[in-house]
Amino acid sequence: MSMRFALLLAALVAAWQPSKARASDEDTQFWLVVNATGDIADGTRLTIDASQRWREEARGDEQQTFRFNIDQTVAKHLRIGGGAMVLDAGGDTEIRPHQQIIVTLGRFEARTRMEERFFDGADRVELRLRQRLQYTQPLGESWRATLGGEWFGTLQGRNNGQGASTDQWRALTGVAYKLNDKLEIGANYWLLAFPRGDRPARYTHLPQAVLTYRF
């Protein structure tokens, strides 16, 4: 099982082959994500994550992120929470607080998240709504697979005159392997689509490696 996962992860890393020739319409990135999550009180969960994102210079160059989130179970199948994220790429910084509602029904999970995005040099705060639907399927004692999709909608652009629009769509497929009660490793593939009005959409292929620690 572990060897099979290692081969899959290696294949995803090998898929990271940025192509400058396709930079205007298509690119490939690779993200490494580390998570720590656990209960800090009855019904209250803290999650902290950090990532290194390797991207082409045309896509903003390499980016580092740090985020925390606290969720509270308020009813059966329902959690509410919030947190904040800091993103840095080449000295340009974004501060991103968020609030969210999560509904779970069996193996399905729906998340609605509102983000306030503060950019260096922007005219105003950008408001973005995200709606995610995800399904998780156990694959034996230690394995699980995930399928999902997410819509990103800008409600208010960061610059004056920018109104509402669809920012992007995301599709996800991935697997995770539980090493022990504390550690889990995962490999995901994301397809990101960025609408551009009358022009063809721009696409990003995104292999991702994930390490999760549960405390």
- Specify the CATH number for the domain of residue 48: 2.40.160.40
Does residue 131 register a pLDDT over 70? yes
What is the DSSP pairing of strand 63-75 with strand 78-89?
Answer: antiparallel
Provide the phi-psi class of 121: left if phi over 0, else alpha when psi is between -120 and 50, else beta. left
| Distance in angstroms (rounded) separating the CA atoms of residues 54 and 75 | 39
Does residue 210 register a pLDDT over 60? yes
| Distance in angstroms (rounded) separating the CA atoms of residues 6 and 141 | 18
pLDDT of residue 20: 46
Does residue 13 register a pLDDT over 90? no
Query: Which contacts of 5-11 are long-range, i.e. CB under 8 A and separated by 24 or more positions?
Result: 5/175, 5/177, 5/185, 5/187, 8/175, 8/187, 9/185, 9/187, 9/209
Domain containing residue 90: 2-214
Is residue 151 within 8 Å of 130, Cβ to Cβ? yes
Name which residue leads in pLDDT, 14 or 142.
Answer: 142
Does residue 163 register a pLDDT over 90? no
* pLDDT, averaged across the chain: 92
Confidence tier at 2 by pLDDT (50, 70, 90): low
pLDDT of residue 42: 96
| Number of other residues whose CB lies within 10 A of the CB of residue 172 | 19
Q: Count Cβ atoms within 10 A of the Cβ of residue 35 and give its class: 0-12 exposed, 13-18 middle, 19 or more buried.
A: middle
- Count: domains in the chain: 1
Does residue 82 register a pLDDT over 70? yes
Half-sphere exposure of 165 (CA within 13 A, CB side): 12
Please give the average per-residue pLDDT across 65-80, as a whole number: 98
